[in-house]
């Protein structure tokens, strides 16, 4: 007996510990599912492109998919791959839309806006940044509201609207932004003050940038933060500080293969070295920038890099090389126009893809709405038809012809609307969206229904009249029997 009890206790303890482990596991899964989107997005910040692509294909969670794709769009932006940026942002929107989640939709539209920025399509970028801002506002996500305002500020800066840039950057700073985005936003603000010639204000805002301790934490932010400081110090003729930050920015961009900041800051550093008469160093830095630009195969950075290299060769007395790169600079400048035309074509195709998605969504909503209306129509017809038949076959109800006419008219209208909803897509295709032909078809249907309605109304009215007569006769017969019975009852009493 003791052994049986011990076995039972052992089994109970095993069941208890397994249940406890299951509860802990479920709690962990719950925490994973409840993990904020920003935490997900931050946790994959260091992943390379190939890993992001592989993980996105392996997961079915839409939140994780959107986080991975949004990070991919950011990566493609850094390496200036426009086609992948556009296709990935469209995929992000396609995954976010069915969820109806404002945070995911905001991230998707923010990615689309970034793609339009790369394609130099200001109107498309402005539209989707504003849509993203609306979604983040609905989600009460002030951090990403600020990040979107920062992107709007950069957009205004690209078109030379300093007032718009300042307005949106002040909103972004008031709302708050993720650290890396905040740093780039402050650099944008400093750039505006530099363009205005207000170097003290430019230096003030550049110093507000959260400097990343090491490039490995956030290479893009590290490069641009140091590059912004270097540019301001160079404009203020503080050469030592400018050189220090140029070196940091170029080293980070070179180590982490960020061609755009490398070309930009190599050209700036080369100009600083030329101003100091250090022509050999200027040539070496300019050549580094040009090699990086060649890897991008984009004429805009190539133009900047070729111009810096031509100036360096000229300063070193190498006229032939200077002339060669000056000609290259002119050729790249001409090809920038062709690239802009190609970008415009890509942005048009991108816009058409988005329009197709919106049209498909509207069609799906129309089909769903039509299906609901058809169901409501069927319910209403059933209710009214049952009501009429109950009145016909009821043994006590007496209904006048006027009430039947009103009910039958309502039934006719409902039946006509039901047929209209049912046949509308077919008639739309047959008539090729012609309002006149649609009207004629509806008139033909009405011409068939009205005579049928009159016949049905006449039949129902006759049935009700005969039934009403029977009811009235039965009521009169009962009344007569009651009256005849009363004298007999009086005589008996």
Among residues of the chain, what percentage have pLDDT more than 90?
Answer: 3
- pLDDT, residue 247, reads 92
Q: Are 170 and 186 in contact (CB under 8 A)?
A: no
Report pTM.
Answer: 0.57
Residues 189 and 245 both lie in one domain? yes
- The predicted pLDDT at position 329 comes to 74
- Domain final position from 136, 151, 181: 136
- Domain annotation covers residue 362: no
* pLDDT one-digit tens code per residue, 269-280: 998 998 888 988
pLDDT digits (tens, 9 = 90+) for 54-88: 888 888 888 888 888 888 888 887 766 777 888 88
**Percent helix, strand and coil across the chain, each rounded to 5?**
85, 0, 15
Residues 26-53 as b/e (b if ≥16 CB within 10 A, e otherwise) read eeeeeeeeeeebeebbeebeebeeeebb
Residue 267 lies in a domain: no
Question: Quick one: which of 163, 176, 155 has its CA closest to 110?
Answer: 155
> In this structure, are 250 and 145 located in the same domain?
yes
Residue 4 within a domain: no
- Per the model's pLDDT, the better-predicted residue between 438 and 21 turns out to be 438
Whole-number Å distance between alpha carbons of 93 and 3 = 64
Give percent of the chain with pLDDT exceeding 70. 66
Q: Which residue has the tokens 């049935």?
A: 463
pLDDT above 60 for 231: yes
- How far, in whole angstroms, is CA 166 from its chain's centroid? 26
**Across residues 128-136, what is the average pLDDT?**
91
Domains: count for the chain: 4
CA 282 to each of CA 272, 314, 349, 470: distance values in angstroms, whole numbers, following the listed order: 8, 11, 42, 113
Which of 134-143, 365-374, 379-388, 467-476 has the lowest average pLDDT?
379-388
DSSP state of 159: T
- The pLDDT score that the predictor gives to residue 51 is 86
Residue 395, pLDDT score = 57
Q: Are residues 293 and 220 in the same domain?
A: no
CB-based contacts of 127: which residues, under 8 Å, 6+ apart? 113
Contact 313, 338 (CB under 8 A): no
* Residues 52 and 132 grouped into a single domain: yes
Count, residues in the chain: 493
Domain identity same for 102 and 176: no
pLDDT at 23 over 60: no
Residues 476, 419 share a domain:
yes
* 89 and 192 together in one domain: no
Of 120-134, 170-184, 370-384, where does mean pLDDT reach its minimum? 370-384
Is residue 366 assigned to a domain?
no
| pLDDT of amino acid 408 | 65
Q: What pLDDT, on a 0 to 100 scale, did the predictor assign at position 359?
A: 66
Most confident of 334-348, 353-367, 430-444: 430-444
- Tell me the mean pLDDT in the region 109-113: 88
Domain boundary among 287, 311, 334: 334
CB 89, CB 108: distance < 8 Å:
yes
Question: Does the residue 487 lie in any domain?
Answer: no
Last residue of a domain, which of 313, 334, 355?
A: 334
Report whether pLDDT(396) > 60: no
Is 65 found in the same domain as 44?
A: yes
More confident site: 328 or 238: 238
In contact, 40 and 64? CB cutoff 8 Å: yes
- In this structure, the answer to whether residues 165 and 126 fall within a common structural domain is no
Do residues 124 and 139 make contact, with C-beta atoms less than 8 angstroms apart? Answer: no
The pLDDT tens digits of the residues spanning 305-315 come to 788 878 888 88
Q: Across the chain, what does the average pLDDT equal?
A: 75
Burial 77-105, CB ≥16 within 10 A → b, else e: bbebbbebbbbbbbbbbebbbeeebbbbb
Decide which of 34 and 342 is more confident. 342
Interatomic CA distance for residues 187 and 173, integer angstroms? 12
* DSSP-assigned letter for residue 8: H
Does residue 1 surpass a pLDDT of 50? no
Q: Read off the CATH number of the domain in which 168 is found.
A: 1.25.40.10
By the 10 Å C-beta count (0-12 exposed, 13-18 middle, 19+ buried), 423 is classed as middle
Maximum Cα interatomic distance, the chain, rounded to a whole number of Å: 148
What pLDDT does residue 298 have?
Answer: 64
- Whether 373 shows a pLDDT value over 50: the answer reads yes
pLDDT value of position 222: 83
Residues 150 and 252 in one domain: yes
- For 53, the domain range is 37-136
pLDDT band at 434 (very low <50, low <70, confident <90, very high): confident
Whether pLDDT at 3 is above 50: no
- Listing DSSP states for 360-372 in one string gives HHHHHHHHHHHHH
75 and 150 share one domain:
no
Contacts of 465 (CB under 8 A, 6+ apart): 401
**Residue with tokens 């006509």, as numbered in its chain:** 416
Tell me: do 156 and 215 sit in the same domain.
Answer: yes
The answer to whether position 355 is within a domain reads no
């Amino acid at each position: 007996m003791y052994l049986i009890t011990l076995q039972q206790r052992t089994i109970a303890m095993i069941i208890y510990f397994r249940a406890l482990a299951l509860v802990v596991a479920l709690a962990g899964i719950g925490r994973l599912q409840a993990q904020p989107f920003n935490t997900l997005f931050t946790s994959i910040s260091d992943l390379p492109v190939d890993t992001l692509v592989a993980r996105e294909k392996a997961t079915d969670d839409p939140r994780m998919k959107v986080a991975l794709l949004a990070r991919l769009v950011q990566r493609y932006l850094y390496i200036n791959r426009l086609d992948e940026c556009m296709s990935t942002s469209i995929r992000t929107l396609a995954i976010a839309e069915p969820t109806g989640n404002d945070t995911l939709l905001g991230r998707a539209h923010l990615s689309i806006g970034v793609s339009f920025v790369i394609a130099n399509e200001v109107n498309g970028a402005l539209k989707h940044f504003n849509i993203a801002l609306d979604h983040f506002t609905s989600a009460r996500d002030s951090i990403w509201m600020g990040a979107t305002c920062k992107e709007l500020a950069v957009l205004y800066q690209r078109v030379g609207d300093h007032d718009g840039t300042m307005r949106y950057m002040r909103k972004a700073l008031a709302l708050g932004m993720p650290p890396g985005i905040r740093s780039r936003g402050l650099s944008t603000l400093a750039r505006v003050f530099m363009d205005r010639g207000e170097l003290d204000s430019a230096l003030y805002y550049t110093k507000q940038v959260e400097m990343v301790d090491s490039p490995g934490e956030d290479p893009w932010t590290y490069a641009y933060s140091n590059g912004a400081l270097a540019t301001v110090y160079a404009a203020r003729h503080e050469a030592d500080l400018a050189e220090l930050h140029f070196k940091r920015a170029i080293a980070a961009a070179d180590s982490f293969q960020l061609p755009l900041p490398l070309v930009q800051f190599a050209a700036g550093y080369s100009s600083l070295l030329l101003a100091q008469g250090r022509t050999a160093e200027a040539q070496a830095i300019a050549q580094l920038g040009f090699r990086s630009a060649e890897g991008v195969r984009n004429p805009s950075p190539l133009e900047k890099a070729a111009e810096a290299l031509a100036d360096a060769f000229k300063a070193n007395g190498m006229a032939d090389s200077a002339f060669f790169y000056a000609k290259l600079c002119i050729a790249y400048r001409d090809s920038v126009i062709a690239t802009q035309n190609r970008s415009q074509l890509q942005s048009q195709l991108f816009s058409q893809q988005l329009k197709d998605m919106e049209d498909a969504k509207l069609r799906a909503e129309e089909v769903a709405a039509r299906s609901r209306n058809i169901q409501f129509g069927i319910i209403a017809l059933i209710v009214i038809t049952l009501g009429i038949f109950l009145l016909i076959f009821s043994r006590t109800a007496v209904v006048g012809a006027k009430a039947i006419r009103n009910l039958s008219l309502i039934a006719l209208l409902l039946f006509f609307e039901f047929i209209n909803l049912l046949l509308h897509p077919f008639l739309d295709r047959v008539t090729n969206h012609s309002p006149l032909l649609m009207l004629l078809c509806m008139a033909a249907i009405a011409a068939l229904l009205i005579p049928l309605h009159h016949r049905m109304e006449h039949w129902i009215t006759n049935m009700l009249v005969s039934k009403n007569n029977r009811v009235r006769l039965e009521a009169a017969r009962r009344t007569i029997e009651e009256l005849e019975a009363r004298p007999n009852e009086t005589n008996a009493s």
